[in-house]
Amino acid sequence: MADVAIPVVKPKLAGYVGFHNLPNQVHRKSVKKGFQFTLMVVGESGLGKSTLVNTLFNTSLYPGKEAKELSGETPKTVEIQTISADIEENGVKLKLTVIDTPGFGDFVNNEDSWRPILENIEARYDAYLEQENRVNRKRIVDTRVHSCLYFIAPTGHSLKPLDIEFMRRLAGRVNLIPVIAKSDTLTEDEIKAFKIRILEDIAFHKIQIYQPPQYENDDPETIQENRDIISRIPFAIVGSDKEVEVNGKKVRGRKYPWGVIEVDNEEHCDFVKLRQMLIRTHMEELKEYTNEVLYESYRMQKLAGVGLDDGSGAGNVNPLAKFEEERIAHEQKMAKMEAEMKAVFQQKVAEKEAKLKQSEEELYARHREMKEQLEKQRLELEEKKKRLESGRPGTPEKTKTKKGGLFNK
């Protein structure tokens, strides 16, 4: 039966109903529950990832790293590190999780450095999916990555092949937000040109980066704010968790002989706009996009068993082909085990045979020795006998019989 379109009636309320308070109810509940956000930072070694995280949340999430830096060392993040912190502002609680990934680019072969990062993102989707599929789904813990800051080295040229490879692999799985690291090392004009080139590269390679949505029914101020944010992508950032003095006032920034770059000054860098997008205006958008688009697409592909790239560079994987591949791999493994066992068995048999041969030879040798000894003894006895016989005086050659006849012996 075809659906019949039901006309939407827009009645005028005769009196107070009270549902205008619904947003307040949501607000109260959310504040009570608290908020949660997971941010990942990815990029080459030493680009200021850890420093930016501290700067963003105005808190020191890396006490160990800082202590090392103070003692003159150059501390490095060497493995994927997850740091959680409960922070509170005006009674609103935020459980913040930062996933700091080790800087790459230090190795001779950096080809596969993206793999553990992508695996980490997907493992978090898998953990969520597994919880959703449980009978009891009361307490689902969401550890999915809601946004990923990708740090681009301030070269002023264009994206490096490694950056393109990384971004291509991560895009479509996570909200990718490109940032130009340590932008205090570039001039304003250099930053402008660099941004254009980065965006051209991103468009050319069809890399899907996070695009803040625009809503027509937003108020003009929000629309303008949104436009401002979009125009700053990729954000040129400066990180510093130290304070410097400017006109007698302490500000977060970096001091140079020619002046001070202030982190929280919109004229100096895009840090404020990035923070605004991540925390003040788009945190919920980022979470929603992760849940409704990125996770959903991963989930669909996973459940349908098709289209998941296994990272081998072979593209999408057919589940039957994958199964067949696994079966062949299993058989090969079994055959290898069998051959190894056979080799061990043969070696053991050969060892035993050698041992037996040795005992046999020893026995022969003993036997020969004993035989020789016996022969020697026999010869000696023979000799003795001869001697005794020859030594007996007047021993007749012939013995007389009782009757005196002769008897030949």
Which stretches of the chain bind ligand GTP, using CB under 6 A? 45-51, 76-77, 102-103, 182, 184-185, 238-239, 254
**Terminal-residue alpha carbon distance, the chain:** 138
Residue closer to ligand GTP (CB basis): 47 or 171: 47
Residue closer to ligand GTP (CB basis): 125 or 166: 166
State both tokens at 288: 């929603």
CB distance 234 to 183 below 8 Å: no
CB of 143 to ligand GTP, least distance (A): 21
Residue closer to ligand GTP (CB basis): 255 or 327: 255
Residue closer to ligand GTP (CB basis): 51 or 147: 51
CB of 145 to ligand GTP, least distance (A): 17
CB of 190 to ligand GTP, least distance (A): 14
Pure H helices in 71-156: 114-132
* Bridge partner list, 37: 96
CB distance 274 to 237 below 8 Å: yes
Closest by alpha carbon to 115, among 127, 100, 126, 104?
104
CA distances from 97 to 40, 90, 141, 150, 253 (A): 8, 20, 13, 17, 24
CB of 238 to ligand GTP, least distance (A): 4
Q: What are the two backbone dihedrals, phi and then psi, of residue 109, each rounded to the nearest 5 degrees? A: -115, 110
CB of 173 to ligand GTP, least distance (A): 21
Looking at residue 399, what DSSP letter applies?
E
Nearest-Å Rg of the Cα atoms of the chain is: 44
CB distance 179 to 237 below 8 Å: yes
Residue closer to ligand GTP (CB basis): 41 or 209: 41
Residue closer to ligand GTP (CB basis): 122 or 184: 184
Task: Sort strands 176-180 and 147-152 into parallel, antiparallel or unpaired.
Answer: parallel
Question: Per-residue b/e over 293-312, b at no fewer than 16 CB within 10 Å?
Answer: ebbeebeeeeeeeeeebeee
CB of 71 to ligand GTP, least distance (A): 13
CB of 254 to ligand GTP, least distance (A): 6
Residue closer to ligand GTP (CB basis): 268 or 287: 268
Which single residue is written with the structure tokens 């791999």?
A: 329
Which DSSP helix (H) or strand (E) runs through 186?
A: none
State both tokens at 305: 């068993």
Residue closer to ligand GTP (CB basis): 100 or 225: 100
* Bridge partner list, 212: none
CB of 180 to ligand GTP, least distance (A): 10
